[in-house]
Homo-oligomer: A and B are copies of this chain.
């Protein structure tokens, strides 16, 4: 297989020379200033530093490496002091596994992250300690052609909603992309191999070893063999990638690297479509989107106790968040079968039946006591209104708790979320 159009796509996705130079220059200047005020090593880490980032990726990740004998508290306080003294801008404290600093400088998103200096397979003190090791490992090994292939792979994945390790995507992280290209040597070879994957997939390019992981996608981290760098890739995303690669092998087309636009058709399914719209607070999408997905999941699970949900979808549409629900019926099923405890556990059976006035039963089926109850026939809209007024009851994410109380519920199958729902389709199939 040959992807003859690689250069054409690279021309669109590679950062401009000006952009790359400005990014590296700024990073170096910042590092020099900070090191005057703290005794540590500095390292520029991440895709920009390795020349594997996409155009418009304006992250500068600066790591400060401290000796392992120090405490976390010490390295954090030394970093804060040095950074604020050296670069007097508005730094914001963020918390991942431990605190780090963030600021926007000359249009770039700058992060300064303290960590402990480690050697490969030595064992880490903090999760972030791996990043400098990854940097060194990959910087030493990736060829110029492979760096281009990493960019192309990222573009392919991004286009097909496979890129990113966050919960909303559960796809392939930037690091996984680099490891995959390194392991299979080129994008073409990776695609050909992946087209033949039959999960569970096991990749270990450092040394052979028995697979101790139960994930469907295992990629042993080259700098920490006790870690599966691909753990976050979900089964769905793994199969979507395999299936996509099969089509690419069959017909290597440029279009796989280009973002698809959803056809704006709305389908009539004789179901109950509901769109819930509410205001999104003034925060970045990186926070708003995962929180919206979490809210969608929580709401779905809560409603499924009573109603028959066919599916859900959510979109962030500028200042408006939307959750779409498709239901089988406006009302819950009239009869609910409740499965009780094993019939020979007389104490549990007594407890289960206490106060219950079953509509049919109790009777024994298999090992269990069963009763059937008639459900309260409340319309989904009425039930939803009550539910949304108590956001904590269904696990609404914190940033939406306030606005979802004032959500607008419409029987709408033309909203953005509805269109996305009805058009859900892996186009290559």
Indicate if the CB atoms of A359 and B429 lie closer than 8 Å. no
Copy number in this complex? 2
From B236, B308, B362, contact of A365 by CB (8 A):
B236
Q: Which of A324-362 contact B (CB under 8 A)?
A: 326, 328-329, 333-335, 337, 342-344, 346, 349, 353, 359-362
Partner pick for A344 among B198, B333, B344, B372, CB 8 A cutoff:
B198
Whether the pair B242, A360 counts as a contact (CB closer than 8 A) is no
For the complex, give the distance between the alpha carbons of A222 and B335 in Å.
47
- Inter-chain contacts of A197 with B (CB < 8 A): 344
Q: Is A369 an interface residue (CB 8 A)?
A: yes
A429 and B349 within 8 A (CB): yes
Q: Which of B269, B360, B365 contacts A334 (CB 8 A)?
A: B269
Contact A429 B353 (CB under 8 A): yes
Task: Among A197, A364, A368, A374, find the residue whose CB has the most chain B CB atoms closer than 10 A.
Answer: A364
CA distance A267 to B326 in the complex (A): 31
Q: Is the CB of A362 within 8 A of B269?
A: no
- Among B243, B269, B425, the residue within 8 A (CB) of A346 is B243
Contact A242 B425 (CB under 8 A): no
Which residue of B has the minimal Cβ distance to A250? B346
Contact A424 B360, CB 8 Å, known A198-B344, A344-B199, A429-B353: yes
CB distance from A373 to the nearest CB of B (A): 10
A383: CB under 8 A from chain B?
Answer: no
Q: Nearest chain-B residue to A345 (Cβ)? A: B198
Whether the Cβ atoms of B239 and A343 lie closer than 8 Å is: yes
Q: Is A414 an interface residue (CB 8 A)?
A: no
**What residues of chain B lie closer than 8 Å to A426, measured between beta carbons?**
361-364
| Residue A270 is within 8 A (CB to CB) of chain B in the complex | yes
A392–B328 Cα distance when bound, in Å, is 32
B328 near A335 with CB under 8 A, answer yes
> Which residues on B sit within 8 Å (CB–CB) of A240?
343, 364
Establish whether residues A267 and B359, one from each chain, have CB atoms under 8 Å apart when the complex forms: yes
In the A-B complex, list the 4 residue pairs whose CB atoms are closest, starting with the nearest: A239-B343, A362-B429, A242-B344, A243-B343
Given contacts A239-B342, A239-B364, A360-B422, 12 further A-B contacts (CB under 8 A): A199-B344, A236-B365, A239-B368, A242-B343, A243-B343, A269-B360, A270-B334, A326-B335, A360-B424, A362-B425, A363-B425, A363-B426
18 A–B pairs (Cβ distance < 8 Å), ordered by A: A197-B344, A216-B367, A235-B366, A239-B367, A240-B343, A243-B346, A243-B369, A267-B360, A270-B334, A270-B374, A270-B377, A271-B335, A310-B335, A310-B337, A328-B333, A360-B425, A361-B426, A363-B429
